[in-house]
Structure 1
Amino acid sequence: MRTPVTRRDVGVGIAATILLPFPAHAAKMIDVRDHGAKGDGKALDSPAINAAIAAAASRPQGGTVTIPAGRYRCYSIRLRSRVTIVLAKGAVIEAATGTGYDLPEDNGEQLYQDFGHSHWRNSLIWGEDVEDVAITGSGAIHGLGLTRDGPGARWKAQTGERPLSMRQMTAAEIAKLEPDATRMNGLGNKAIALKNGRNIRLSGFTMHQCGHFAILATGTRGLHIHDLSIDTDRDGIDLDCVADTIVERCRVNTPNDDAIVIKSSFALGRAIPAENVVVRHCAVSGYDLGTMLDGTRRTTQLLAPDRDRPTGRIKLGTESNGGYRNILIEDCTFHHCRGLALETVDGGVMENVVARRLTMRDITTAPLFLRIGDRRRGPAGTGVGAIRGVLIEQVDASGIDHRFAAIIAGLPDRPVENVRLKDISLTYAGGGTAADAARRPEELATAYPEPSMFGVTAAWGLWVRHARGLVIDGLTLATATPDGRPPFRVEDATDLRVTNTPLWRA
């Protein structure tokens, strides 16, 4: 049996914990106004900003492009190596409306992930194969003219493409969210997109209403994202096939999709792991769009576009072709959103993951969701993945939707292995019935992974199905109102060890 992850494994992502230095070229200053930028909110300023970036990149050591206070209406801005962009206080880069963005690349048949994951140039700001780049300062990026939509994957199997909560949507409703690829020409659907970058720093600024992705980083190494405030339409920070990456001290509000998500898709044409990633001191939420930034933190939106409750969480998955290893998530808060999700459904092994010191309030689905599935969205030979060597400790969650217990769900022939839950406190709203307790959901191996996929769980606190070597050390469960279900339900769990858990077998 493999040794479970322990506190000593906090050495996870050692390479990622080396803070990236501010680029040495910062002293070479170029003002975008010297290249014709107006900053009046009317002129199209992306040509001037691109000219300033090109001028900085032409210097042997690169340079820094400064964007003073003003509103700069832009189509695509193209990053160059050894160039820093500084957004001054009061500077806003605004995504222009219309079809003036760079065209999406022709990447051939991108079968295994959606359009948004498979293209980078159709963005407000993009960089491909760039090194030693920074975007920093206290200004803002407003994705006013970006679209949140895009086609889904063209995978022939079409299994597990959408959450089961979308089953009742009409074809017209789905088509509105997933337009044909030809309709995307000239549109921008990401605020910042990075492909195969090296030594990238994003810090200090605010992002609002940023389309499909506020930040998409694919195949990027040495990425440091810190002190950002993001309040956006869909995904906040997507880290796909990245390595040696830190995300820290960020506030990310995404009621309609995931806030901080680590993926390992097939977007680069091969299976690449996400590894050595640290997410720490971040706050994620699913408040109404824009209300984190304005401070009102409203909660009037009842459902996300997938017809489930507001999203806004930290997640590993759904795309998992390359797997995940050496991931640390610590000292983060979740508010009015779904809980922590660790998923592998497209092959790929998830191992050596530590999540600790998490505070959760008003959780809209399950507080913890560990899922192995058998979607296998990938080329021939893609197998079933694995989850092993996961430590989750010091989690305090309350106000949890009564329908969904914490869930650990493997498959009959592929159990979740060697997970340790330590010092976990979960308080649910209560209200489940004896009829709920009698439910026995199907395996749903090929379905899109979401806690709601199984319906109301048969236990209110913890539901485990197909696990091996699970250790529960200090699990405290409570309900605000009575619940007619048992606190636990465990099915097909071998080598289970439970200590310091008073309600066990109650």
Structure 2
Amino acid sequence: MMLKFLNLTLFVLFAVSVCFAQKVTATSNGIFYNVKNYGATGNGKHLDQGAINKAIEACAGKGGGTVYVPAGIYLCGSIRLKSNINLYLDAGATILGAPPESKAYDEAEAFADTAYQDGGHTYFHNSLIWGEHLSNVSITGRGKIDGGGMTNKDHEHMGDPTGGSIGTGDKAIALKLCSNILIRDVTIFHGGHFAILLTGCDLVTLDNLTIDTNRDGIDIDCCTNTLVSNCRVNSPHDDAICPKSSYALNKPQITENLVITNCEVSGYEEGTLLNGKRIPAKAGWSNGRIKFGTESNGGFRNCVVSNCTFRNCNGLALEEVDGGIMENIIVTNITMQDITHYPIYVTLGKRNRGPKASTHMGTVKNILISNIYVTGADSLSGIQLTGTPGYPLQNITLQNISVQYKGGGTKEQGMKPFPELEKGYPEPFLLGANPAYGLFARHINGLHLLNISFTTAKQDNRPALIAQDVNGLEIDRFKVPEVMGNQLFQFAEVSNKDITHAAWLILK
């Protein structure tokens, strides 16, 4: 009797599996649209974007559903998403970017007005996967997007608005003015200029993504109500997760209500996150960090970064330099190891790249950075908190911060005047070695330093703390190593001090 029951059970399970397989491969049931039934080969040799686009159009024409990409390698140019579509990449499925000479990518759209933003932020249709003015769109599954022959140019920094490679497929995923977006579980390798670029989007969820690329990993530009969670982003020569608020929509538009949580960012050589070798890349312009800006015409408001790890990359950067606001930002529960250039960088500059008639000085206020543990921090610069003359940072709190620096700085470095950022590009290494190895603060109204601890692997002969033009300096529990004969701090134009539990800071 038991044997008959087991046989019946196995038969039922087999029947269910057969039915499910038929459902997945069906082309007209309104739920699953298998791209192979629309002519996709999946052999990695023939261009398949035409077949995939046919499947997407058929699915959208029936009101939406899932476009199913089974295991295989699909050589593709531009794939055009539609509303109410879930592009599902099954395990073993790879969308492979075609080389530029294939002419398989859509032409970049026209940009009628002056481009005050980098070229990579100006054009979208020339991407591997793109969509505009869509709603209820998702890319999911355990498959991979491999940029393959996509363009991956060198940096276009320093304010060149024509930067970026136009017409050759320079972004893996680009979505503009879309709502209710979900990208989950997929892996992106060699993602071009941006692995994921979201511009002017609302209600966005990016979850459980693995990105191993050479340029920016995730750029969130002029977006609202965005959640980035449980993602691993490796970007050895650019930023890993980068909120922005550029002028790409021909107006300043804020990025707000953003949460980045439970993520890992790193600066290993491209591909070595995925293969497990984790080979540290040489630090260049920027690598592997979480950075707000530099594109910041609209600014940032109500943003939280929590429970993240940084490894072999630059530290956290909050940069407002194009006239927008940066306010109500919380960064908490962060660990960093082997950090290049600086551990924390908060700055207000006046690059003000945008129309002269509408661009004004920005503001930075209400920033809380807490529970940060850093080891192996670069000797180039400690924490930098800098406003601009006449435009101070406001209400900045650092709490429960522990940084172990490499040290080795000289007295001569500690005595050099440190240049103002002004209209310069906001990267600490461009200004040279900082005169403070631990924390440099300038042009701030309301600076609160609570439970701060610095140590050095090698003796550093620069001051641990330099504060200039700071009104309202509160310090409680601040520890640094004492170095005989060295000046541990420098204050200039510091008013309204409240210092407790930091005997080395008590003026004699």
Q: How many residues align?
A: 453
| Cα pair 1:238 1:261 within 8 Å, conserved | yes
Q: Which residue of 1 aligns with 2:159?
A: 161
Q: Deviations over 1:167-194 (max 9, x none)?
A: xxxxxxxxxxx9888x733x10000000
Would the alpha carbon gap of residues 150 and 188 (structure 1) be closer, same or farther in structure 2, given more than 3 Å must change?
Answer: farther
Q: Of residues 455, 459, 467 in structure 2, which corresponds to 1:490?
A: 467
Q: Secondary structure at the match of 2:293?
A: strand
| Cα separation, 2, equivalents of 1:323 and 1:303 | 27
Q: CA deviation at 1:150?
A: 8.0
| Cα separation, 2, equivalents of 1:492 and 1:136 | 51
Q: Of residues 404, 410, 421 in structure 1, which corresponds to 2:387?
A: 410
Q: CA deviation at 1:282?
A: 0.2
Q: Of residues 66, 91, 96 in structure 2, which corresponds to 1:89?
A: 91
Q: Which residue of 2 aligns with 1:107?
A: 111
- Structure 1 stretches lacking a partner, 5+ long: 1-24, 154-159, 163-177
Q: Deviations over 1:290-329 (max 9, x none)?
A: 1111110002x3243xxx3x51100110011001100000
Q: Deviations over 1:45-68 (max 9, x none)?
A: 0000000000000013x1110000
Question: 1:228-247 alignment to 2 at 5 Å?
Answer: 228-247=209-228
Question: 1:29-178 alignment to 2 at 5 Å?
Answer: 29-60=32-63, 62-98=64-100, 99-149=103-153, 152=156, 160-161=158-159
| Cα separation, 2, equivalents of 1:151 and 1:361 | 25
Q: Of residues 274, 280, 290 in structure 2, which corresponds to 1:293?
A: 274
TM-score (norm 2): 0.87
- Structure 2 stretches lacking a partner, 5+ long: 1-27, 481-501
TM-score (norm 1): 0.87
Q: Which residue of 2 aligns with 1:368?
A: 344
Would the alpha carbon gap of residues 142 and 438 (structure 1) be closer, same or farther in structure 2, given more than 3 Å must change?
Answer: same
Letter in 1 for 2:97: A
Letter in 2 for 1:408: L
- 1:446 and 2:423 equivalent? yes
Q: Deviations over 1:182-215 (max 9, x none)?
A: x733x10000000000001000010000110000
Alignment root-mean-square deviation, CA:
1.8
| Cα separation, 2, equivalents of 1:111 and 1:150 | 19
Q: Which residue of 2 aligns with 1:436?
A: 413
- 1:279 and 2:255 equivalent? no
- 1:302 and 2:282 equivalent? yes
| Cα pair 1:323 1:350 within 8 Å, conserved | yes
| Cα pair 1:26 1:63 within 8 Å, conserved | no
Q: Which residue of 1 aligns with 2:21?
A: none
Q: Which residue of 1 aligns with 2:18?
A: none
Which stretch has the larger CA shift, 196-205 or 449-458? 449-458
| Cα pair 1:344 1:371 within 8 Å, conserved | yes
Letter in 2 for 1:137: G
Decide which structure has the larger Cα Rg and report it: 2
Q: Secondary structure at the match of 2:479?
A: coil
Q: CA deviation at 1:502?
A: 2.9
Q: Deviations over 1:117-149 (max 9, x none)?
A: 011101000000110011000000000111022
Would the alpha carbon gap of residues 56 and 245 (structure 1) be closer, same or farther in structure 2, given more than 3 Å must change?
Answer: same
| Cα separation, 2, equivalents of 1:243 and 1:53 | 27
| Cα separation, 2, equivalents of 1:458 and 1:364 | 17
Q: Which residue of 2 aligns with 1:167?
A: none
Which stretch has the larger CA shift, 134-143 or 25-34? 25-34
Q: CA deviation at 1:108?
A: 1.4
- 1:223 and 2:227 equivalent? no
| Cα separation, 1, equivalents of 2:162 and 2:292 | 26
Q: Deviations over 1:461-500 (max 9, x none)?
A: 1011111101111101100111111111111111110001
Q: Which residue of 2 aligns with 1:346?
A: 322
Q: Which residue of 1 aligns with 2:493?
A: none
Q: Secondary structure at the match of 1:33?
A: helix
